[in-house]
Amino acid sequence: MIEPGNVPTAHLDTFARDKLPPRDLWPVMDYGVLPELAAYPARLNVATALLDGMVTAGHRNRPVLHLGDTSWTYGDLQTRANQIARVLVEDMGLVTGNRVLLRGANTPMLVACWFGVLKAGGIAVTTMPLLRARELAYVAERAGVTHALCQADLADELEGARDLAPHMAEIKLFSPVGDGNASLETAMTDKPSDFPTVDTAADDVALIAFTSGSTGGAKGTVHFHRDVLASCDCFPRHIGKITPYDVVTGTPPLAFTFGLGGLTVFPMRFGASTRFLTSPAPDDVLDTIARYGVTQIYTAPTAYRVMADLVDNYDISSLRQGVSAGETLPAATWDAFHEATGLRLIDGLGATEMFHIFISATPENMRSGRTGRAIPGYQARVVDDAGNDVVPGTPGQLAVRGPTGCRYLDDIERQKIYVRDGWNYPGDVYEMDDDGYFRYVARADDMIISAGYNISGPEVESVLLEHPAVAECAVVAAPDPERTNIVKAFIVPRPDANCDEETVKTLQDFVKSRIAPYKYPRAVEFVSELPKTQTGKVQRFKLRQQETAKAG
């Protein structure tokens, strides 16, 4: 087994590696727990393992991606990824190690762009389609983005971001299935269908994924080629048990590692295919399952909750498995979906910092109201503030380690919080029973998880404070039966501000116009003061407790 850092990098641009935390602040990374992990070569490119290798292994003519009436084979995807790699290198001047921002809905062309970047030796920085210019500029600045590939109808906000991040030199545009005349497709037209995939080291950086942090701005998490493949050989191999005959669908964007794993790299590791959705509405999801014989779905608990009430209207007999993540799966939702479909949902706890799910259980071993156990390849504990194991049934901080782990980009202080004594601390309070099953208790920080989205309370606060009507504010999670939690803002208004419904709507629209719309406060309460410590620190936990008590 080769230790990270002992193999020469293929990256001429070492920006990402230079901004990794010091090696002694990394978590313990155990690649020897499973034989498939220990067998990885010292030089590894995910594009070779998941695309080129699958074509060579006989999957060239098998379907891999579907959207509407369009279907691509593994061979089709390889051709387009090769052409995109050539455009990046030959036309856009990409140097190995450059960061390429990707912006688009879940489409075959977004996947082709992702593989094109990795084939060319670049680093993929995939972003949410809903992000606004200021958020895109922040990501571009933090990741040192040099190039961008963007879906044509999403270009306006990215162009606005370029004004704030001028080193993002060139943007090329694409259509969802590559059948238009956008600038990337035009550039691909005359490119050969072959490309020599760059021979990266297994621990060269493959992607930088951003997650909203509890302390404000988004955090860049760095994952190596080895990390991506390791995730493919843990959850989907041992829990999801994907086969070449599976057709997978789901709602999470590919910018979320939950979506990237469940809807792209996991199926491709096993020769399966993915059907992207034209609409994430629960009734449209059910229609897609029925119409196209979908066998697996990845989505959040809120979607399963709604689908349980609608499923009688659809023939979803092809569906054999549902994976839930993004937020805790309530026992009532698990029970309702099981009663409506006979399927035992797989709950999963993961984190962007860890790339994907590390606590879960197979359907036959799932227990209602429990997340599961540490999956093969990982270890998990519940500890007190000193890092000591607590007795079963006692709430404490969750600590986990395995073949993936947290490495923040240029954020040593946050790294010291997330990784302690070699263990990753995802920020969740759990308790473990005598059988090793974990039960979710609460978040340990100011992260709000609503309908599967991670939303930073301090980020929403910072936007609200830009409005002239707001003197002070605090943003917390408020329990909600439909979305698990919603974003609620407690606002101390300025003396001349009106505290009426019109002002509430104005503030909500103000937030929507500046950051991704899903982050806006769905509830606003005007207050005369916020609870604070003697030193003036806002005590958000008191507001959370107040909202929990109201919910009963």
Running along the chain, 552 residues long, what does each successive block of 10 average in pLDDT? 68 97 94 88 97 97 97 98 98 97 98 98 96 93 96 94 83 95 96 98 97 69 97 96 97 94 98 96 96 96 88 96 87 90 96 96 91 95 93 92 97 95 92 92 76 82 88 90 92 92 96 93 94 68 88 78
Q: Does residue 3 sit within a domain? A: no
Residues 247 and 296 in one domain: yes
Residues 237 and 367 in one domain: yes
Residues 253 and 381 in one domain: yes
Q: In Å, how far are 219, 398, 447 from 365, measured between CA atoms?
A: 34, 21, 29
Tell me if 104 sits within 8 A of 142, measured CB to CB: no
Q: Does residue 68 sit within a domain? A: no
Q: Does residue 153 sit within a domain? A: no
CA 15 to chain centre: 23
Residues 497 and 429 in one domain: no
Q: Does residue 198 sit within a domain? A: no
Choose one of 401, 421, 445: the last residue of a domain: 445
Q: Does residue 398 sit within a domain? A: yes
Tell me if 360 sits within 8 A of 233, measured CB to CB: no
Instruction: Determine the number of helices (DSSP H) and then strands (DSSP E) in the chain.
Output: 20, 26
Report the 10 Å Cβ neighbour count for 326: 26
Tell me if 130 sits within 8 A of 517, measured CB to CB: yes
Q: In the block, which residue shows the tokens 């989505």?
A: 299
Q: In the block, which residue shows the tokens 């390849």?
A: 377
Residue 542: is it exposed, middle or buried by C-beta count within 10 angstroms (0-12/13-18/19+)? middle
Q: Does residue 31 sit within a domain? A: no
Angle at 546 between CA 545 and CA 551, to 5 degrees: 95
Token pair belonging to 126: 């995939």
How far apart CA 102 and CA 113 sit, in angstroms, is 8
Closest CA to 135 of 106, 103, 113: 103
Choose one of 418, 445, 472: the last residue of a domain: 445
Beta strands 428-432 and 438-443, pairing class: antiparallel
Residues 488 and 354 in one domain: no
Q: In Å, how far are 105, 140, 235, 257, 268 from 251, measured between CA atoms?
A: 11, 25, 18, 12, 18
Token pair belonging to 345: 């949902």
Q: In the block, which residue shows the tokens 């509430």?
A: 504
Q: What are the DSSP calls for 365-433, one per residue?
A: G--TT--BEEPTT-EEEEE-TTSPBPPTT--EEEEEEBS----BSS-HHHHHHHEETTEE--SEEEEE-
CA 510 to chain centre: 26
Residues 438 and 358 in one domain: yes
| Predicted model pTM | 0.86
- Where residue 315 sits, what CATH number does that domain have? 3.40.50.12780
Residues 436 and 518 in one domain: no
Instruction: Quote the number of domains for the chain.
Output: 2
Q: Does residue 258 sit within a domain? A: yes
How far apart CA 220 and CA 550 sit, in angstroms, is 36
Tell me if 156 sits within 8 A of 147, measured CB to CB: no
Q: Write down the pLDDT at residue 84.
A: 98
Residues 475 and 347 in one domain: no
Closest CA to 203 of 9, 343, 423, 488: 9
Residues 363 and 461 in one domain: no
* CA dihedral of residues 197, 203, 209, 212 (deg, nearest 10): 180
Choose one of 445, 465, 496: the last residue of a domain: 445
Residues 252 and 310 in one domain: yes
Tell me if 506 sits within 8 A of 544, measured CB to CB: no
Residues 381 and 494 in one domain: no
Q: Does residue 115 sit within a domain? A: no
Q: What is the layout of strands, in order, in the sheet containing 484-493?
A: 470-480, 484-493, 523-526
Residues 273 and 420 in one domain: yes
Range of the domain at 279: 230-445
Beta strands 247-250 and 296-299, pairing class: parallel
- Where residue 457 sits, what CATH number does that domain have? 3.30.300.30
